[in-house]
């Protein structure tokens, strides 16, 4: 492969719940993302985001480029999709599913509000309903790695980051309070990476960066990405402390 070709492309799209979709909640009243086809849609009125924006990461210059095209496959031949995720943020919880929710039925596809136990039983293998093709929505979770770092994905065991260093600010910018490390492993001095670092599902990491952008400010997602991905490292947009 030509060393100047991008290592990967990624596309960020703003998704919202269709205005006609009935709200969905757990038995305890917690909001849940929609399951049926057509209930998650691309936001036609998005201002702070392009309706669909694709980017490339160049391995030679380690920079992000806005392709200004809805789909990089229209511009480059031979590309295959590696991964997709859809994220919703509501009530201090970040919900995730490993597909484009605008194109898939999620879980059993039912719009009704069901008790938590029923949801878990019915969606365990997606076999109760014809066409139930995908695992249900889950909060983002983590694995704790030896050396003090954290791996992010959904459906993992841990609900919080493992640790943070006292020279880090990205955790407060990227994640709600409930995801941060427990008190005795937070803002620890005199530690160096990988202690306090975050790795894992790249699509989720990019989605979290996009969620930090101001939805009312045009082009803010692009600016956040340019700030956060510089050189071969992730940076915080304000003081350039590495993640």
Residue 186 domain-assigned?
no
Task: Please check whether residue 190 lies inside any domain of the structure.
Answer: no
Q: How many CB atoms lie within 10 A of CB 130?
A: 9
- Separation between Cα atoms, residue 229 and residue 237, nearest integer Å: 9
- Asked whether the predicted pLDDT for residue 36 surpasses 90, the reply is yes
Mean of pLDDT over the chain: 78
CA atoms of 177 and 72, how far apart (whole Å): 35
Domain membership of residue 10 as a residue range:
6-140+201-234
Q: Is the pLDDT of residue 29 over 80?
A: yes
* Domains of the chain: total: 1
- pLDDT grade for 237, boundaries at 50, 70 and 90: low
In sequence order, what are the beta bridge partners of 110?
A: none
Residue 221 inside a domain? The answer is yes
Higher pLDDT, 153 or 228: 153
Question: Cβ distance 180 to 198 under 8 Å?
Answer: no
The per-residue pLDDT for 120 is 46
Using CA atoms, how far residue 18 sits from 44, 46, 84, 183, in Å, is: 11, 14, 20, 39
CA 7 to chain centre: 20
In this prediction, what percent of the chain has a pLDDT beyond 90?
42
Residue 28 to residue 173: CA distance in whole angstroms: 28
In this predicted model, what pLDDT tens digit does every residue of 143-177 receive, in sequence order? Answer: 999 999 999 999 899 999 999 999 998 888 899 99
Q: How many CA atoms lie within 13 A of 136 on its CB side?
A: 21
pLDDT of residue 242: 45
Between CA 96 and CA 126 the distance in angstroms is 17
Query: Cβ-count burial of 3 within 10 angstroms (0-12 exposed, 13-18 middle, 19+ buried)?
Result: exposed
Choose among 116, 136, 117: nearest CA to 126. 136
60 vs 235, more confident = 235
In the chain, % helix, strand, coil (3-state, to 5) comes to 15, 25, 55
Whether 78 maps to a domain, the answer reads yes
pLDDT tens digit sequence for 41-100:
987 665 434 445 667 666 556 566 666 555 666 666 777 778 899 999 998 999 999 999
If you average pLDDT over residues 115-119, what whole number do you get? 45
pLDDT of residue 80: 75
Residues 129-156 have a mean pLDDT of 83
- Note whether residue 150 is domain-resident: no
Pairing of strands 198-200, 149-154: parallel
Asked if residue 176 is part of any domain, the answer here is: no
- C-alpha angle 190-192-196 in degrees, rounded to nearest 5: 100
What does the pLDDT look like over 196-224, one tens digit per residue? 999 999 999 989 988 887 766 657 777 78
* 48 within a domain of the structure (yes/no): yes
Task: Decide if 225 is inside a domain.
Answer: yes
């Amino acid at each position: 492969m030509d060393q100047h070709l991008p290592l990967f492309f990624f596309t960020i799209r703003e998704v919202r719940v269709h205005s006609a979709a009935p709200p969905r909640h757990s038995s305890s009243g917690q909001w849940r993302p929609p399951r049926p086809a057509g209930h998650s849609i691309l936001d036609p009125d998005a201002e702070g985001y392009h309706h669909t924006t694709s980017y490339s990461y160049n391995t030679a210059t380690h920079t992000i480029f806005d392709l200004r095209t809805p789909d990089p496959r229209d511009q480059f031949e031979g590309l295959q999709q590696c991964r997709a995720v859809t994220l919703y943020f509501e009530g201090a919880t970040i919900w995730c599913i490993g597909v484009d929710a605008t194109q898939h039925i999620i879980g059993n596809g039912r719009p009704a509000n069901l008790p938590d136990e029923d949801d878990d039983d019915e969606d365990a293998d997606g076999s109760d309903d014809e066409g139930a093709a995908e695992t249900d929505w889950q909060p983002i979770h983590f694995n704790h790695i030896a050396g003090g770092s954290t791996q992010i994905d959904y459906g993992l065991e841990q609900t919080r980051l493992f640790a943070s260093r006292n020279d880090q600010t990205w955790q407060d910018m990227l994640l709600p309070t409930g995801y941060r490390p427990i008190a005795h492993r937070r803002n620890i001095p005199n530690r160096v990476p990988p202690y306090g670092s975050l790795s894992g599902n790249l699509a989720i990491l990019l989605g979290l960066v996009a969620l930090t952008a101001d939805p009312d400010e045009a082009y803010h997602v692009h600016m956040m990405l340019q700030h956060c991905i510089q050189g071969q490292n992730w940076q915080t947009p304000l003081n350039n402390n590495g993640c």
